[in-house]
Structure 1
Amino acid sequence: MTDSSRPAVPADPDEAGFGRSPSCETGTAERLAMNRTGSFEWDLDARILDIDEAGLMVFGVDPAAFDRRPSTVLERLDPTERARLEMTINEAISGGHNSYSVHFQVPLADGSRQWTHVQARILRSVDGRAHRVIGVVRDATAEVTHSAFVSDLEKRHQRQTNIVERTTSAMSRAVTVDDVTAALTGPGGLTGLGADGVALGLVENSVLNIIALSGDSLEVLDGLGSGPLDANLPLGDTILSGRPRFITSLASLVRRYPALEPHVGRLNFRAAAYLPLVAQARSLGGLALFYRERAVFSADERILCLGLAAIVAQSLQRAILFDEEREFATGLQSAMLPRRIQEIEGGEIAVRYHAAWSGRQVGGDWYDVIALPKNRFGIVVGDVQGHDTHAAAIMGQLRIALRAYAGEGHPPSTVLARASRFLAELDTDRFATCTYAQVDLATGTVRVVRAGHFGPLIRHSDGRVGTPQVRGGLPLGISTAFRDEEYPETRLDLVPGETLVLYTDGLVEEPGADVDVGVAALIHEVSDGPAGAEELADHLSDRLWERWGSGDDVALLVLRRSPDLGSPRAPRLHQYIHQADPEGLSEARAIVRQALSDWEMAELADDAELVTGELLVNVLLHTEGGAVLTLEVLPEPVRRIRLSVQDRSSVWPRRRTPGETSTSGRGLLLLDAVATCWGIEPRGEGKAVWCEIGPAPPRLNTSKGNGGVPHRS
């Protein structure tokens, strides 16, 4: 239907099948006309359009005035519709197609618009040139209108289906009541519900508690939220009556609930659905959905709202049950742990216990601090196999038994051996792991035993973290079953300012990763964390317990020996050097040099570093343990330094006269040459070799004595 078609010979009407006389097909033509359907034949070469009366009626053209020109029909259309029709026809002809179909709108005399459909076939010559088009034209308004209605209906149904699916998906992931409120008020919550505001309230003992609010809501106004159930307010009325309320205007809201009239000017919504939340015949609370634009609730929309309320009610019931069971389990676990930790002299101690976030059940992790004779105390961190209330109950019994055995004064190895036997006699299939240590902060001695558990970490005063090799035995219970109740004891020395860290696996186990990764992360955080025990415990909890997802319980114990910093005029430092630490010797020398530089005594650094190396090498080579290095300033009467190296050996060093080719035996000679004075004195189970470097005090006796008295070079 375009005047741009090229001219040619007129077509034979009989060839088209629509150009025969009306008398031949009167019945067919009338039937088509009654259905507002006509036929046409268009000669592209002659640019002549033949169209029957029914077809002209579809286009709204008077048959008496029709001049057989295509433009006469095209001029009836709006420019946009005309351009769309011409583009469809031209693309079909030039593209070699044999047919085309198009819908377009025709303006009618009464000002309305009619959807029209043309279905045509293109006839081509042998060489493929299009020369004629035949087809039908019909009024498609009813069809298109019905199709639009069906399409809109399908869109609304799809939207409702999406709302139900999103809500169901969000609620299925909600485990606790907090999870339910987060799903309703978090990102996408209102979109998922298809509302502009939401309020969720739970009822307990006839008191309504609004636990979730988002977007436009009536309950954000003062006095209209939490409180005793009130039938004069919509949510309270819905809960008390058990019937939903669908409000389609603020006027109807005020008529039903006059108490809201003073607040109408502050409301930003037009419609609301107040829905009771009922699960298994138990009223849990109410859900309110608010809408800014909606003015009516269709039957489908009311059913949708009630369905959403049912989904939320079921999720809330499950979440409430979960929270109640979890509260019971965590309460049981808490009751099994010590209510308070005693204060200790000479240090500070901090403990932390965190229950797992996921799952209903708690584990058997525990910690304890036990008072012992002679100002000593025992510390323990352990874990009973399993994550249920049975594990928590066994933990409580085992903790009490271990406390009793320790309080009787037994050495650490005996304490764990008896605890293992106790657990085996409980006739349970559970085992337990733990690390137990007896601590004497006066001397810094720590005696550690380990039963299938992680060994302790030691944070040195300079921030370095050591992992001492603590020999271990089998887990408690298993060792008795295998008749191997040997728990070898390892001695550690905690110098002033150092910190001991005991922990359970929940602090270092990351799902899907090797436990060594978690231990490395723990070592890093212990090193970077604050020095105080309480602050370090909080730091580790924040950085690690939440980092791993908290799928397991965590018990943590942090013990710090009080630092001995001396005074500004007489500063002091302590450093423990492990025998198995290959870098400990060089680090000790560096620490001494740096300390003397900080104390403005750098002129003594060379001699002090030399003596440090000699004394430490003697301990590490000739004893079976580490050494404690102490460096302090003696301010009166002449400012100088005192350097001491303490070990656990009772054998005193002796002076030798080495030959020219000897590789040892010169330590005391060198000490005698460099130090102002030096000596050896007993310390606990071992001894300490000390020396002073710097100007000699005037009162010092210059005579040399035996190994137990001061010497002066």
Structure 2
Amino acid sequence: MAVRGASAVSLPEDWPAHPDPILALNRMGTFDWDLDTGLVHMDAQAYEVFDLLPEEFDGRVGSLTVRVPQPEAARLDAAVARAIKDGSENYGAYFRIRRRDGTRRWTHTQGYIRRDGTGRPRRVVGIVRDATEELAESEVRSLRAAQDEAFRQQTNVVQAVSATLAHARSVQDVIGALKDTHGIRHLGAASLVMGLLEAGRIRLVAEGPADASVPGTQVTRIDEPYPMSEAVRTLLPRFIESPEEFAEGYPILWPYLTDLHVTSAAYLPLIAQGRPIGAMGLLYSDRRGFSSEERAVLVALGSTVAQSLQRAMLYEREKDLAQSLQQAMLPRTIPSVRGADIAVRYRAATGGGSLDRDIGGDWYDLIPLPGGRVGAVIGDVQGHDTHAAAVMGQLRIVLRAYAAEGHTPATVMARASVFLHELDTDRFATCLYAEADLSTGVVQAVRAGHIDPLIRHSDGTCRRVQVDGGLPLGLSAEFGRLEYPVSTLELDPGHTLLLCTDGLVEKPGADLDDGMGRLSALVADGPEDVMALADQLIQLAEERGGGDDVALLLLRRCVAEAPPAGGRLQQHVASGDPEALARARHLIRAAVRSWGYRDRADEIALVADELITNALMHTDGSAIVTLRALDHGGHRLLRIEVEDSSSALPRRREAGEDGVSGRGLLLVEMLSEAWGVEARGCGKAVWCEFRLDG
């Protein structure tokens, strides 16, 4: 109602209007406000609404300010003026009055604007009523709606946290799920503390802000006066609803929390399968007290967290056992090898969603062999579970045993395949076995369904080496195809041999050749040191992740030294095996080159080839070729010996003008400094010597 001054204008004949008696029954008062005179007439119920006596009101609007505070009067006057200005017929507004005893009460008014024939407003008639109960009910409804919405939000947060916890595989995963943006902060908590029960004590695994650390509480007994201990001891939640209650109940703990402005807290026991496994505390800084609905939500959250923690702890224990089994199956240490730098690495699979996916059958091994040789093994048993790890351990042991017995690489692989086939398992394995003579650089490689090796050259370039292969271990025995071709590689000083499993190369949906190309580029760009290179490659595998484990072996041949006096290299050449003769020739040539006599390697290999061929052609058995470095009278000599089981001595014959036979010993005599024959038990050895330093 606008405050206007009165005038001497005569009042209309029908003024004041008579209220309907029904309005009085509804506790509504009426008023008639003459806009020309500014006088207001109110009935008895209106006086009661304004808490006025008739003698206290002179009929002027301005006199109502004793009950209507100025801010409310200004807001009400603006509502009336706006209705008059825009041509409205009525208006309505809520405003507060100050009662006689000083209390405030909500009031509602609704007015009807009467205009004359020209549209000029002349009167406002309307009602006033007490709206306190109405607004109180509205506020209660709004409050309840807000509480219901908050409860729904908390329930949604619990559901979201529960969904996240379903994927937690470690205790830290559980803590992380609670601390992230969808966790405890949406429940209104300022910080989280959590402790796990271990041997009758509570060990903190998560605590609030760094400046909230309480000395001596990292490990506490369950009988100590702390709320977390109380929750574990009683198996009941502990709700602390005010700072005063916190300070009174836990005087030892409270001084460390005052700077955090903690106003309330909820400590929940974590119970799984009927027994406590720990407790969790939620600290609040902007609330006091907990409704029954909020308590129910928090108790449900505690139950969900307890189940997730139990699963996580069980998973971690099983994973530790499985990884211990796998690590026990791998070599404890890698022996140092003279003439080579070695690096090995293993990375378990991750992200498979189950414990078994973190366990694999990949392995590596390094086997010292007689004569300065070394066997390098890389392999992968089918599957990702503890059974694959167990099969891997057995297979690694038998491969080592067969190699140490002195079998050829092809025989080692064939026997290992038979062993795996005879095991009570349906698993097969891929494998690559490389036997390297570090004094000569000759590498004899056998591949059973495995990926090819790489060789990095001393100039940094890297290439994939094609190695002829056979079927995977186990399958070759099952199908009766135990032939494994041997490929001869040459590893010069400074070159690095890289063996790995497919987890380092393969990517889902990508071609294997593309993966080998990427790996070659990474090796070429990587550091020269094998340890640093292995770290870099395994780090890249970690960053890429994936569901397959990775095994890696790097062997870098060191710069060759002059062969020591008495140094010895020996090779068995079977009768009727042309590949064995070719391997022996390659072995001798590589040895001479690696010892620094590259310019004479071809002629020495040619002489050795003649001696071996003579032995194989003119005797019934196999031959053994031996290469020795000798120091004689201050001169460096290279001695070749070819031993066979026949006592018949070789004879030098004239070949004739068109003859082929008979030229072998003549060639030996022409190219070497000396040659001869020595008796060896029931057989003999044909030898020749080359002077290398003059």
Under a length normalisation based on structure 2, what TM-score does the superposition of the two structures give?
0.69
What's the CA shift string for 1:490-516, capped at 9, x where partnerless?
Answer: 332222222222222333445676666
List alignment gaps of at least 5 residues for structure 2.
5-11, 563-584, 608-637, 643-669, 673-689
- Mapped to 1, the partners of 2:329 and 2:260 lie a distance apart of 52
- Mapped to 2, the partners of 1:393 and 1:121 lie a distance apart of 93
2:526·2:536 contact (CA, 8 Å) conserved in 1?
Answer: yes
- Mapped to 1, the partners of 2:485 and 2:33 lie a distance apart of 107
The equivalences for 1:304-453 within 5 A come to 304-358=297-351, 359-361=354-356, 362-426=359-423, 428-453=425-450
Aligned residue in 2 for 1:549: 545
List alignment gaps of at least 5 residues for structure 1.
5-11, 567-622, 635-641, 653-680, 686-705
Aligned residue in 1 for 2:234: 241
2:47·2:54 contact (CA, 8 Å) conserved in 1?
Answer: yes
What's the CA shift string for 1:74-128, capped at 9, x where partnerless?
Answer: 9976676567667777888888989876545455454444334456789999999
What's the CA shift string for 1:321-377, capped at 9, x where partnerless?
Answer: 111221222122122222222211111212222222332111212112223333222
2:442·2:590 contact (CA, 8 Å) conserved in 1?
Answer: no
* Higher relative contact order, structure no. (Cα contacts within 8 Å, ≥ 6 residues apart): 2
1:13·1:20 contact (CA, 8 Å) conserved in 2?
Answer: no
Change (3 A) 1:649 1:132: farther
Residues 1:149 and 2:130 are matched in the alignment:
no
What's the CA shift string for 1:660-708, capped at 9, x where partnerless?
Answer: xxxxxxxxxxxxxxxxxxxxx99999xxxxxxxxxxxxxxxxxxxx988
Change (3 A) 1:266 1:73: closer
One-letter identity of the residue aligned with 1:198: L
Change (3 A) 1:63 1:453: farther
One-letter identity of the residue aligned with 1:504: T
- Mapped to 1, the partners of 2:536 and 2:299 lie a distance apart of 47
SS of residue matched to 2:207: strand
- Mapped to 2, the partners of 1:533 and 1:501 lie a distance apart of 10
| 1:284 CA drift (Å) | 0.5
| 1:176 CA drift (Å) | 0.8
| 1:282 CA drift (Å) | 1.7
| 1:209 CA drift (Å) | 1.5
Aligned residue in 1 for 2:176: 182
SS of residue matched to 2:544: coil
Residue in structure 2 matching 1:197, options 184, 191, 210: 191
Which protein is bigger by CA-based radius of gyration?
2
The equivalences for 1:489-528 within 5 A come to 489-510=486-507, 519=516, 521-528=518-525
Change (3 A) 1:235 1:42: same
1:61·1:73 contact (CA, 8 Å) conserved in 2?
Answer: no
Aligned residue in 2 for 1:139: 130
Residue in structure 2 matching 1:288, options 273, 281, 288: 281
- Mapped to 2, the partners of 1:40 and 1:181 lie a distance apart of 67
| 1:461 CA drift (Å) | 2.1
Residue in structure 1 matching 2:106, options 92, 102, 115: 115
1:74·1:82 contact (CA, 8 Å) conserved in 2?
Answer: yes
One-letter identity of the residue aligned with 1:151: S
> What is the Cα-based RMSD across aligned positions, in Å?
5.0
Aligned residue in 1 for 2:534: 537
One-letter identity of the residue aligned with 1:471: D
Aligned residue in 2 for 1:207: 201
SS of residue matched to 1:307: helix
- Mapped to 2, the partners of 1:13 and 1:398 lie a distance apart of 118
Aligned residue in 2 for 1:473: 470
Change (3 A) 1:239 1:13: farther
- Mapped to 2, the partners of 1:261 and 1:476 lie a distance apart of 67
- Mapped to 2, the partners of 1:58 and 1:646 lie a distance apart of 123
| 1:180 CA drift (Å) | 1.6
Change (3 A) 1:306 1:643: same
What's the CA shift string for 1:431-454, capped at 9, x where partnerless?
Answer: 322222222222222222333332
2:204·2:217 contact (CA, 8 Å) conserved in 1?
Answer: no
One-letter identity of the residue aligned with 1:505: D
Between 43-52 and 462-471, the greater mean CA deviation after superposition: 43-52
1:434·1:453 contact (CA, 8 Å) conserved in 2?
Answer: yes
- Mapped to 2, the partners of 1:78 and 1:515 lie a distance apart of 85
- Mapped to 2, the partners of 1:332 and 1:123 lie a distance apart of 96
| 1:211 CA drift (Å) | 1.1
| 1:47 CA drift (Å) | 9.8
Aligned residue in 1 for 2:626: none
What's the CA shift string for 1:395-428, capped at 9, x where partnerless?
Answer: 2222233333333433333433333333333353
Aligned residue in 2 for 1:583: none
Change (3 A) 1:422 1:47: farther
- Mapped to 2, the partners of 1:282 and 1:140 lie a distance apart of 56
Between 267-276 and 488-497, the greater mean CA deviation after superposition: 267-276
Change (3 A) 1:103 1:21: closer
The equivalences for 1:670-681 within 5 A come to none
2:264·2:287 contact (CA, 8 Å) conserved in 1?
Answer: yes
- Mapped to 1, the partners of 2:112 and 2:603 lie a distance apart of 108
What's the CA shift string for 1:520-568, capped at 9, x where partnerless?
Answer: 55444423333222222222222x23212343322121222224699xx
| 1:298 CA drift (Å) | 4.2
- Mapped to 1, the partners of 2:50 and 2:509 lie a distance apart of 72
1:401·1:419 contact (CA, 8 Å) conserved in 2?
Answer: yes
- Mapped to 1, the partners of 2:85 and 2:196 lie a distance apart of 70
Residue in structure 2 matching 1:561, options 557, 563, 574: 557
2:241·2:289 contact (CA, 8 Å) conserved in 1?
Answer: yes
Change (3 A) 1:109 1:413: farther
SS of residue matched to 2:136: helix
Residues 1:172 and 2:166 are matched in the alignment:
yes
Change (3 A) 1:41 1:388: farther
One-letter identity of the residue aligned with 1:546: E
- Mapped to 1, the partners of 2:85 and 2:510 lie a distance apart of 65
- Mapped to 2, the partners of 1:384 and 1:151 lie a distance apart of 66
Residues 1:269 and 2:262 are matched in the alignment:
yes
